Amino acid sequence: QQQVKQSPQSLIVQKGGISIINCAYENTAFDYFPWYQQFPGKGPALLIAIRPDVSEKKEGRFTISFNKSAKQFSLHIMDSQPGDSATYFCAASKGTYKYIFGTGTRLKVLA
Amino acid sequence: GAGVSQSPSNKVTEKGKDVELRCDPISGHTALYWYRQSLGQGLEFLIYFQGNSAPDKSGLPSDRFSAERTGGSVSTLTIQRTQQEDSAVYLCASQWTGRTDTQYFGPGTRLTVL
């Protein structure tokens, strides 16, 4: 019940395309859903986060879509750029404590 | 201000040796986490410190792993009698609990056990 399932494991997108990464959770007590971006050799950095009182949050080219009834949330990267090539992790938590992370998606954007 | 720093950035050790990994959190952050990231895997929670409260050690994989946080700031993760399966990147994160939900991660320490 504590797992966060993330898919796909890897993703290749053409420059300018849309990258979509999906996550699913089981624990209905989770109320905070961040996405982290990690470049090789670096620690993860917060990209965008959402709480379940909204169904969508957009920051620049990055959008989180949240479906509370399905217990799913997804990251959409519009107009994907080669600089977006990184590993993306979704996470879920109750409050701000002890995130449960997905297993990560390695995104490669082709120039 | 400065972010979370970790040292060393890389550590190579022989099986059976003890290692200490250091984390300097962002100044003023009251919460500190240790995670382990194995090759191609997600982030595995190890331990959590919050202020002066007893740490949450529920993620430590064995009694060979321990951590302390001195003065509510710097933290050290110790792995005794290292095994090859301990090889991973160990990440530290800090959080200013109560004001922000964001965990800020350090660059990690890559541990290789030969």
Q: Output the pLDDT for position B39.
A: 79
pLDDT per position as a tens digit, B38-58: 877 789 999 999 888 899 999
B90 in contact with A, Cβ within 8 Å: no
pLDDT in tens, chain A (111 residues): 678 999 999 999 999 999 999 999 999 999 999 999 999 989 999 999 999 899 999 999 999 999 999 999 999 999 999 999 999 999 998 876 788 999 999 999 999
Q: Output the pLDDT for position B106.
A: 96
Cβ–Cβ below 8 Å for B48 and A98? yes
| CA B93 from centre of chain | 8
pLDDT per position as a tens digit, B89-100: 999 999 987 545
B21 in contact with A, Cβ within 8 Å: no
Of B41, B56, B108, the CB nearest to A103: B41
Give mean pLDDT, residues B56-69.
Answer: 95
Judged against a pLDDT cut of 90, whether residue B77 lies above it is answered with: yes
Q: Output the pLDDT for position B98.
A: 52
- With contacts defined as CB-CB under 8 Å, which chain B residues touch A86? none
Q: Output the pLDDT for position A91.
A: 94
Task: Indicate the Cα dihedral angle A52, A58, A61, A67, nearest 10°.
Answer: 30
Cβ–Cβ below 8 Å for A46 and B45? no
Q: Output the pLDDT for position A98.
A: 81
Collapsing DSSP to helix, strand or coil, B72 comes out as coil
Helices (H), B1-114: none
Q: Output the pLDDT for position B9.
A: 96
- Say how many CB pairs under 8 Å bridge A and B: 51
Per the prediction, chain B carries an average pLDDT of: 92
Of B101, B104, B107, the CB nearest to A96: B101
Q: Output the pLDDT for position B99.
A: 46
Collapsing DSSP to helix, strand or coil, B108 comes out as coil
CA A95 vs CA A41, A106, A110, A111: distances in Å: 29, 27, 37, 39
- State the Cα–Cα distance between residues A111 and B59, nearest whole angstrom: 40
Give the DSSP letter of residue B102.
P
B97 in contact with A, Cβ within 8 Å: yes
Q: Output the pLDDT for position B100.
A: 59
> For residue B84, which phi and psi values (nearest 5 degrees)?
-60, -30
CA B91 vs CA A18, A33, B7, B97, B105: distances in Å: 30, 20, 10, 18, 7
> For residue A31, which phi and psi values (nearest 5 degrees)?
-140, 15
